Amino acid sequence: MTQQEIRMKAEGYSLFYGDFKALNDISLDIPVNRITAFIGPSGCGKSTFLRSFNRMNDLIPGVTTEGKVYLDGKDISGEDVVDLRRKVGMVFQRPNPFPKSIFDNVAYGPRLHGMKNRSELAVTVEKSLRKAALWDEVKDDLHKSGMSISGGQQQRLCIARAIAVEPEVILMDEPASALDPVATLKIEELMNDLKKNYTIAIVTHNMQQAARVSDYTAFLLTDENRAGNLIEFGPTRQISPLPRTAGPRITSAEDSADREDAMTRENFDRELEELKQKLFQVTERVRKNLAASIKYLDERDMKGAGMIIEADEIVNLKCLEIEEQCLNIIATQQPVATDLRLLFSILQISTEIERIGTTPRE
């Protein structure tokens, strides 16, 4: 990437919450007018890293950092923070419109930055709502509360609010995870439109979403000290194999007649099969623990309950292991990894059921 193609840059960036190192020595470039996705398992530091780009972490007591983050080649630590956040806007996981009218939600930022003229504001509001693909749905209800529209509309309203101050970069932390599939698709389409004019960095849990929307993908994982490290970064379609995963990556379905790719498919099938077996074992364990915990609860057996709590830790570890293995396979075998969606869903359901087993602890 040449200098002009980079909008933001992290260089040797580490972040500490008190004594705890949450991000370890991350260097990465965010290219102009592209969508860069941050992916990785829960707790690996995706949100923390995203917040580093507009210094939102400054608001958390005890946070210290090492290394630098640049916007257009300028170190952001020296920038006025209000000005920085105008240039680097943010959209959160849960839509958070202000308890104001739709109009005032969008006009909020421009007003803050000194725009007073009502007709000028009206032009900005309309332009922003159009860009956020919401205008047609709300143009007759601009006076209505921003909190009275649907979740998907609220999220687009928040995007309109972010756009209204003409930022250069929009940071999005799992912007669709609280939305239904149709609203999610709308947000994804919108992102694709927006990248013509803006640079976008998005955190997502969802691999399919990363594959669908992003041009570049950064893959984070925690090390043995639970610090988030950047493991992979590159064009989404070409993320190279992770060092720890065996076998070459499958690059395209058309080549599958080819012998080498057939072998790769075999590798993938084998990895998937191993993963399935592990999943069945965990599911079985959860089922047994759940049955036992109901029995112990019924009999008010404290010792038994203690055993279940211990067994629960093992289940947690196994689930994490499976989740991490899924992520590794997805990162290395993207094009054929759709089979993993089902596996992931089962794991999710299993984890939720397992939580019921955790209740006796309380």
* Residues forming the site for Mg ion (CB under 5 A): 47
Instruction: Give the 3-state secondary structure of the chain.
Output: CCHHHEEEEEEEEEEEECCEEEEEEEEEEEECCCEEEEECCCCCCHHHHHHCCCCHHHHCCCEEEEEEEEECCEEHHHCCHHHHHHHEEEECCCCCCCCCEHHHHHHHHHHHCCCCCHHHHHHHHHHHHHHCCCHHHHCCCCCCECCCCCHHHHHHHHHHHHHCCCCCEEEEECCCCCCCHHHHHHHHHHHHHHCCCCEEEEECCCHHHHHHHCCEEEEEEECCCCCEEEEEEEEHHHCCCCCCCCCCCCCCHHHHHCHHHHHHHHHHHHHHHHHHHHHHHHHHHHHHHHHHHHHHHHHCCHHHHHHHHHHHHHHHHHHHHHHHHHHHHHHHCHHHHHHHHHHHHHHHHHHHHHHHHHHHHC
Q: Is 22 or 102 the residue whose CB approaches Mg ion more closely? A: 22
Q: Is 88 or 160 the residue whose CB approaches Mg ion more closely? A: 88
- Tell which one of 8, 21, 28, 45 touches ligand ATP (CB under 6 A): 45
Given Mg ion, ligand ATP, none, residue 17, with its beta carbon under 5 to 8 Å by kind, binds ligand ATP
Q: Is 22 in the site for ligand ATP (CB under 6 A)?
A: yes
Q: Is 48 in the site for ligand ATP (CB under 6 A)?
A: yes
Q: Is 204 in the site for ligand ATP (CB under 6 A)?
A: no
Given Mg ion, ligand ATP, none, residue 48, with its beta carbon under 5 to 8 Å by kind, binds ligand ATP
- Tell which one of 17, 92, 98, 135 touches ligand ATP (CB under 6 A): 17
Q: Is 21 in the site for ligand ATP (CB under 6 A)?
A: no
Q: Is 30 or 220 the residue whose CB approaches ligand ATP more closely? A: 220
The piece of 45-53, 130-138, 244-252, 293-301 that touches ligand ATP (CB under 6 A) is 45-53
Q: How far is the CB of 341 from ligand ATP (least distance, A)?
A: 18
Q: Is 94 or 205 the residue whose CB approaches ligand ATP more closely? A: 205
Given ligand ATP, Mg ion, none, residue 263, with its beta carbon under 5 to 8 Å by kind, binds none
Q: Is 54 in the site for ligand ATP (CB under 6 A)?
A: no
Q: What is the rounded distance in angstroms from the CA atom of residue 45 to the CA atom of residue 31?
A: 21
Q: Is 47 in the site for ligand ATP (CB under 6 A)?
A: yes
The piece of 39-47, 164-172, 176-184, 315-323 that touches ligand ATP (CB under 6 A) is 39-47
Q: What is the rounded distance in angstroms from the CA atom of residue 14 to the CA atom of residue 68?
A: 9
Q: Is 174 or 312 the residue whose CB approaches ligand ATP more closely? A: 174
Q: Is 8 or 134 the residue whose CB approaches ligand ATP more closely? A: 8
Residue with tokens 């925690």: 222
Q: What is the rounded distance in angstroms from the CA atom of residue 208 to the CA atom of residue 287?
A: 29
Q: Is 132 in the site for ligand ATP (CB under 6 A)?
A: no
Q: How far is the CB of 62 from ligand ATP (least distance, A)?
A: 7
The piece of 40-48, 175-183, 267-275, 321-329 that touches ligand ATP (CB under 6 A) is 40-48
Binding residues vs ligand ATP (CB under 6 A): 17, 22, 40, 42-48, 60, 205, 226
